[in-house]
Amino acid sequence: MQLFILFETASGYALFEKEDFDEVGGQLQSVQKAIDSVERFTKQVTLAAYQPFTTAEEALENIQAIAETKVSKTLKEFLLANLPAVKSAKKQKFQLGLSDVKLGLDITSETGITASYNETI
């Protein structure tokens, strides 16, 4: 299964992609080793999309929304534009990895995209 990982920064949103993701957690050790080295990390994931904030106001608005675990208009548009189309949660052929359960629930209600959160993600 394909995994996309949402990464929020002060400069914008990024989606990283990992093919053949093992959701059972069997890859946990290799993931932990990979994040110690940029060279190994780039072999594990690739940058799928990046959207920089265009103004300081936009950056502040989006970071505040993330802090409040809410989906901003910018984030919603970014996800819908850069993730495969989803007809229903049962037919979703990818996972969106997040570190925040509450944000994941809000993303699901706003976009219909089901988010995943586990120790590997």
Q: Residue 77: which pLDDT band, with cuts at 50, 70 and 90?
A: very high
Beta strands 46-52 and 94-97 are unpaired
Mean pLDDT in residue range 73-99: 88
pLDDT of 57 above 90: yes
Mean pLDDT (the chain, rounded): 85
- Please report which helix (H) or strand (E) contains residue 68, including its range: none
Structure tokens at 100: 């925040």
Mean pLDDT in residue range 10-31: 73
Q: Residue 19: which pLDDT band, with cuts at 50, 70 and 90?
A: low
Query: Which of these, 91, 86, 79, lies nearest to 8 by C-alpha position?
Result: 79
Specify whether the CB–CB gap between 6 and 99 falls below 8 A: no
Give residue 88's pLDDT.
67
Burial class (CB in 10 A: 0-12, 13-18, 19+), 82: middle
DSSP tag of 113: P
